[in-house]
């Protein structure tokens, strides 16, 4: 009986730790994806602004 209790507690602790780790990994991955999207949008905005600010003779 004592061994079964420790097994159940071990499984519960393992699930809690796994849940926390998966949450952490998904948060980091989402941050990286969001950072990549922001970089692409910033590059597009930069190019558009550069074209708009350029003197008309260069267009």
pTM above 0.75, yes or no: no
pLDDT greater than 70 at residue 58: no
DSSP string, the chain: -HHHHHHHHHHHHHHHHHHHHHHHHHHHHHHHHHHHHHHHHHHHHHHHHHHHHS-GGG-
Tens digit of each residue's pLDDT (9 = 90 or more) over 18-29: 999 999 999 999
Structure tokens at 54: 């350029």
Closest CA to 59 of 42, 50, 39: 50
Quick: pLDDT tens for 4-54.
999 999 999 999 999 999 999 999 999 999 999 999 999 999 999 999 998
């Amino acid at each position: 009986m004592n061994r079964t209790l420790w097994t159940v507690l071990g499984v519960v602790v393992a699930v809690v730790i796994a849940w926390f780790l998966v949450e952490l990994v998904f948060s980091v991955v989402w941050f990286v994806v969001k950072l990549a999207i922001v970089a692409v949008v910033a590059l597009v905005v930069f190019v558009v602004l550069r074209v708009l600010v350029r003197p008309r003779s260069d267009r």
